[in-house]
Chain A
């Protein structure tokens, strides 16, 4: 993808197909797409001569191919060859540029707006409506949902060694956290999504609250999203609960069941105060009363303190990222870079989200249970709970643990991926769209930047996740909630992104990872440390040097290899030296150049 001058990172880009070796290729092979292997299930639809108006290298003649999965462009007569490899799911908007009578070179063609911080322009010959067919095809296949077509995830025939759908098993995860216990029980009340249609089927709730209580509480919480347990601290038993806003309304309604329920949560670990974090600015929380929502009043919830975290809503975040795109694509704003960056407020929002999560994590560490909500409890709430859990629980910092975190806090608890991303939907101006999940991944990236040894996964995983957030190649991020996923049989008919990731786990591993079990990570939420994620937001710009590996990583891998070489030599010497009873050494010396964990165990092998 992208221009040939930034081959390093993108040559291993997740959007490249690397799995198709597993499938039978003969039937799928196409000569015109000779240099890119199609995915199993991918079919070519059209091929055409075209001019790509590269914002960095000028007009490039070439051929474009469109399949049911991607748009592929390959330049001709250029050295080096320049290619574009864009999954159709990434496309947000397709427009015609210029008319049949437009003057000027290359003024007639297509303008494509992508969801991943870039725009693509193609120019065609003006004669004979040459863009009509390609426009129609692109429009149809980029927005299958708007055209009653199936998304590519359902046509993909990819096979992987591992089934990523097995990564997250709610019961297993609860058991890992030590649940159920004498204070918290697992309930199946939502088995058929009757209590709450946007929640998962299995929930952890206070032992003292009966299913009847839950139903009563549900009537007082927006969309029935009652407070349920997300995470419990092993030692002090403090919990993070998540929910939606209470339905207080203009009249300031109260609900005894809800009040009692929250008190039961507080009681569970015997602390005096329960802290409720309302992610919204207080003004917005107040304004929500007008539509029947609101927040927990002091008098109604005596044993609780309410803290507003001042995080803005999805619309503000959408506009903020839009502004960010304006200053980084195609040209990186140069002369007033810093003030331009500030005026997007993007990093300021990141700062607010992270500092909100720090406060949650800090409270939990101090032994107090917390409740987190915003309006509906599926955007800001998911950001806060999952970031706090990432700070508190080192398990979520592993490659698999992170997948569990996403599956649990985002996917199962109904972050509206379909609405926020607009998978396969042509309505680009939909007000429901917002980069909330992108913002969350950015926060995670900021944490990995500040704690470069604390995470088992690397930046590539985060970029891969964001690429497939849009691509529609996997079922992982499709649809708004579990109930809709069940109806559409996502788990049986599509492939999980984690199948791809876990089948080539070493690609996504951080060689510097140093597991530390009981350590709470508090990132510094100061502008001094927050930085723009250049290798994601500005990755299409060839002037920003993309290094496949950071120099530190490269050096570290070299040194690891050197150490192994020495260890091996030493073992050989000792083998020849000493008696046969040291034969166990040969087992431990299996050379392996990729997995860092293996290196570490290797080091400790007695010699």
Chain B
């Protein structure tokens, strides 16, 4: 194998090249380890091709240093196995069981660039036939950047591995090639048996349970369990109680209000794919009116509708903006980093990503206001009904319902609104690299997670799960070992999985789910999914809530306010006369029609709504609203900055605080255990060491805290504590002063005394 080294090394190395080990050293010393140069393959994993003596550049600096090793491409991942023996075991704390720090799951590959001498070219599938670049740069969807040099490998191997990687990562393939279908690891079985579990909403019970929990009074549709009604509709779903059988299938689900959640006042949130309204098409208009009436019937005969396609950015906007945004974090070297640091804020603003997040949160707040303050039913719609509808409906539920802020609740929400709700995960991520699907690619689910993170960072104690959990979940979207995020809708999921499950082998439900986190992490690591700040709900809260209820009951019996104000101009022009009398169909707002306008027309009522809420003491188990002012919407630092060496705060960052809380929680648990033991034994003659709690000694404590964490914890552990501080380069250029300031800049400090200087 190593013989190739001399021939492959024929290509002249650059003079600036320095490496930890010279190729000769590898030859002499590393040979014994050669045979073990494989990653721990997963069951069902197959190696397609590999190349030895590939140099992986360490990203830390510009010195072109690196580590030699083997680059492999399997049906699951691109993997680099270092020739050097892994030395530091402390970095294993948050190790992913499926892939390591040098592994890239195939669907996690975002872009591949080829480095040809001084030029860097984006590789698209069809481009490569014979030539291969000396340097391969891989940008990952989880924002890691890998740089490999193929200069030292056998030409044949280098060509093969390059073409292999490009083929398996960029070229169209069929769904069946996705690793999940060959991954033979037995999933630990459905959680079904467990008392507390993630509700998957693929069965009647989950829907019944959720409706009961929210005291909804809608109709549970079970007629589609074999997709007899429509493959566009989930197996089970809930509609307003007045919807008749024939309404269900009239327009293949378009215009059919799907129940999302019921507010404790009785009103509810529905979503639907919008039904195009043509002026001469009476049938669809009649149908829509009927559906609106049905929604309105749910509570107080009032309904507001909102077409999200009109008021929120399009999928293309979202995709475009994110593509710009992510570039700020795909850093290849220090110079590039500090260059981009100069115009950081304006670049951030120009890509518009934070503004899209803000718009979604704003829209969700508006819907929350309708439900919470006005107690009207809300029907949100958009073309397709499964992108922004999912974002908004899940955000609304997260703000209103503390259950969804627990770990299991949140996962249930994702199942309900996204997985079963029919978000086209496969098309949006375009895992299969189909040319015809490029247009439909958009990080909608990530957008949702971003919004959740904003809420999380503003109101940490309200969430049972941690920021780390959100980051891992966003990564898991690109781990092709799970089927959760692999399909376009419920019938797609069921049909593929049924076809792939030989009836005896595996039931549809037994495919590995992303929610089975033990497949990726051991339980120590899973502790980091829990938010140590989470404020447990006090027990007496329940009774309080009940006493609050009658208020809404009273409103229910006095619905005068719903009728007094004259109905504003309806969104749907041809309302039936009878409808006009009882029904108030309104759009929520026209906000964001002109995104470029100087100040977005935030309705003053929404502002008041927020301020009224803010004036009250914050209840982490009640309504949660985000602050949307400029400084409050931030970059999800953990997700985006974790791999960038230059911004790691060694021994600092928010994790420094959280780890102190974790420590204290540990102490408390130990004490509690000790107290329990006391309570059990009750023997008076215990003495000495036997009964003493093992309270940590000072030495132990300081030893613990000396394991310093960096701000990138737990994703990167600072192995090398001896480090040079990052000193920004090229800063002055950006500070070119103009006008008055320019004049001032050249003056001396104490102008009064040294007037001669201008």
Residue from B345, B610, B685 in contact with A338 in the complex, judged by beta carbons closer than 8 Å: B345
Given contacts A315-B744, A362-B727, A379-B749, contact A570 B678 (CB under 8 A): yes
Cβ contact within 8 Å between A526 and B341: yes
Cβ contact within 8 Å between B652 and A451: yes
Q: Report the contact-size class of chain A (Cβ under 8 Å from the partner).
A: 35 or more
Given contacts A312-B735, A570-B693, contact A453 B660 (CB under 8 A): yes
Cβ contact within 8 Å between B533 and A552: yes
Given contacts A333-B630, A334-B600, A544-B629, contact A552 B650 (CB under 8 A): no
Stretch at the interface among A104-112, A262-270, A350-358: A350-358
Stretch at the interface among B48-56, B309-317, B498-506, B662-670: B662-670
Cβ contact within 8 Å between A358 and B727: yes
**Separation in Å of the B608 CB from the closest CB of chain A?**
11
- List the A side residues contacting B345 at CB < 8 Å: 338-339, 341-342, 347, 527
Cβ contact within 8 Å between B745 and A552: no
Cβ contact within 8 Å between A526 and B667: no
Stretch at the interface among A173-181, A204-212, A283-291: A283-291
Given contacts A362-B724, A559-B668, contact A538 B341 (CB under 8 A): no
Cβ contact within 8 Å between A342 and B671: no
**Separation in Å of the A329 CB from the closest CB of chain B?**
13
- List the B side residues contacting A453 at CB < 8 Å: 652, 656-657, 660
Cβ contact within 8 Å between B661 and A288: no
Task: State in angstroms the CA–CA spacing of A527 and B735 once bound together.
Answer: 14
Cβ contact within 8 Å between B667 and A563: yes
Cβ contact within 8 Å between A334 and B631: no
Task: State in angstroms the CA–CA spacing of A338 and B533 once bound together.
Answer: 30
Cβ contact within 8 Å between B665 and A559: yes
B126 within 8 A of A: no
**Separation in Å of the B171 CB from the closest CB of chain A?**
35
Task: State in angstroms the CA–CA spacing of A291 and B751 once bound together.
Answer: 11
Closest to B756 in A: A291
Q: Which of B483-522 contact A (CB under 8 A)?
A: none
A23 within 8 A of B: no
Task: State in angstroms the CA–CA spacing of A538 and B535 once bound together.
Answer: 28
- List the A side residues contacting B344 at CB < 8 Å: 342, 526-528
- List the A side residues contacting B649 at CB < 8 Å: 450-451, 523-524, 529
B373 within 8 A of A: no
A14 within 8 A of B: no
- List the B side residues contacting A19 at CB < 8 Å: none
Cβ contact within 8 Å between A319 and B349: no
Given contacts A355-B727, A570-B674, contact A577 B691 (CB under 8 A): yes
Cβ contact within 8 Å between B748 and A288: yes
Given contacts A315-B745, A574-B691, A607-B695, contact A526 B728 (CB under 8 A): yes
- List the A side residues contacting B196 at CB < 8 Å: none
Q: Which of A120-162 contact B (CB under 8 A)?
A: none
B746 within 8 A of A: yes
B574 within 8 A of A: no
Q: Which of A356-385 contact B (CB under 8 A)?
A: 358-359, 361-362, 374-376, 379
Residue from B533, B650, B697, B737 in contact with A522 in the complex, judged by beta carbons closer than 8 Å: B650
Given contacts A332-B630, A551-B533, contact A607 B748 (CB under 8 A): no
Cβ contact within 8 Å between A604 and B460: no
- List the B side residues contacting A419 at CB < 8 Å: 750
- List the A side residues contacting B693 at CB < 8 Å: 570, 607
- List the B side residues contacting A545 at CB < 8 Å: 614, 627
Number of inter-chain CB pairs below 8 Å: 256
Given contacts A335-B599, A355-B727, A525-B726, contact A313 B349 (CB under 8 A): no
Cβ contact within 8 Å between A334 and B744: no
Cβ contact within 8 Å between A566 and B672: yes
Q: Which of B672-729 contact A (CB under 8 A)?
A: 672, 674-675, 678, 684-688, 691-693, 695-698, 701, 705, 711, 724-728
Closest to A573 in B: B678
Cβ contact within 8 Å between A555 and B532: yes
Cβ contact within 8 Å between A345 and B735: yes
B528 within 8 A of A: no
- List the A side residues contacting B740 at CB < 8 Å: 319
Cβ contact within 8 Å between A284 and B748: yes
- List the A side residues contacting B667 at CB < 8 Å: 563, 603
Q: Which of B322-337 contact A (CB under 8 A)?
A: 337
B319 within 8 A of A: no
Given contacts A355-B727, A452-B656, A545-B627, contact A604 B698 (CB under 8 A): yes
Cβ contact within 8 Å between B631 and A607: no
Cβ contact within 8 Å between B658 and A566: no
Cβ contact within 8 Å between A555 and B461: yes
B747 within 8 A of A: yes
A560 within 8 A of B: yes
- List the A side residues contacting B648 at CB < 8 Å: 524
B43 within 8 A of A: no
**Separation in Å of the A375 CB from the closest CB of chain B?**
5
Given contacts A342-B345, A526-B728, A551-B460, contact A334 B629 (CB under 8 A): yes
A17 within 8 A of B: no
A584 within 8 A of B: no
Q: Which of B97-137 contact A (CB under 8 A)?
A: none
- List the A side residues contacting B696 at CB < 8 Å: 603
Task: State in angstroms the CA–CA spacing of A179 and B533 once bound together.
Answer: 46
- List the B side residues contacting A461 at CB < 8 Å: none
Cβ contact within 8 Å between B668 and A569: no
A310 within 8 A of B: yes
Residue from A339, A532, A606 in contact with B349 in the complex, judged by beta carbons closer than 8 Å: A339
Task: State in angstroms the CA–CA spacing of A432 and B533 once bound together.
Answer: 47
**Separation in Å of the B715 CB from the closest CB of chain A?**
16
- List the A side residues contacting B697 at CB < 8 Å: 604
- List the B side residues contacting A538 at CB < 8 Å: 631
Given contacts A351-B731, A452-B652, A570-B693, contact A431 B630 (CB under 8 A): no
A5 within 8 A of B: yes
B85 within 8 A of A: no
- List the A side residues contacting B174 at CB < 8 Å: none
Cβ contact within 8 Å between A579 and B687: yes
Closest to B670 in A: A566
Task: State in angstroms the CA–CA spacing of A559 and B658 once bound together.
Answer: 13
A54 within 8 A of B: no
Cβ contact within 8 Å between A291 and B754: yes
Cβ contact within 8 Å between A544 and B631: yes
Given contacts A551-B461, A559-B664, contact A313 B745 (CB under 8 A): yes
Residue from B657, B691, B705 in contact with A452 in the complex, judged by beta carbons closer than 8 Å: B657
Given contacts A283-B746, A450-B652, A552-B658, contact A351 B728 (CB under 8 A): yes
Closest to B658 in A: A552
Task: State in angstroms the CA–CA spacing of A337 and B629 once bound together.
Answer: 9
A543 within 8 A of B: yes
Closest to B599 in A: A335
A15 within 8 A of B: no
15 further A-B pairs in the complex, CB-CB below 8 A; given A342-B343, A375-B748, A452-B654: A288-B757, A313-B748, A319-B740, A337-B629, A342-B344, A345-B735, A362-B727, A431-B752, A454-B651, A526-B647, A527-B342, A528-B344, A543-B614, A552-B657, A570-B678
Could you jot down 9 A-B contacts, CB within 8 Å? Answer: A335-B598, A337-B629, A338-B354, A529-B649, A551-B460, A563-B667, A578-B687, A603-B667, A607-B695
Interface residues, chain B, with chain A CB atoms under 8 Å away = 337-338, 341-346, 348-350, 354, 459-461, 532-533, 535, 597-600, 610-611, 614-615, 627, 629-632, 635, 637, 641, 644, 646-654, 656-658, 660-661, 664-665, 667-668, 671-672, 674-675, 678, 684-688, 691-693, 695-698, 701, 705, 711, 724-728, 731-732, 734-735, 737, 740-741, 744-752, 754, 756-757
Interface residues, chain A, with chain B CB atoms under 8 Å away = 5, 281, 283-284, 287-288, 290-291, 293, 310, 312-316, 319-320, 332-342, 345, 347-348, 351-352, 355, 358-359, 361-362, 374-376, 379, 419, 431-432, 450-454, 512, 514, 516, 519, 521-529, 531-532, 534, 538, 542-545, 551-552, 554-556, 559-560, 562-563, 566-567, 569-570, 573-574, 576-579, 603-604, 606-607
Closest 4 CB pairs of A and B: A337-B630, A522-B725, A315-B744, A527-B344
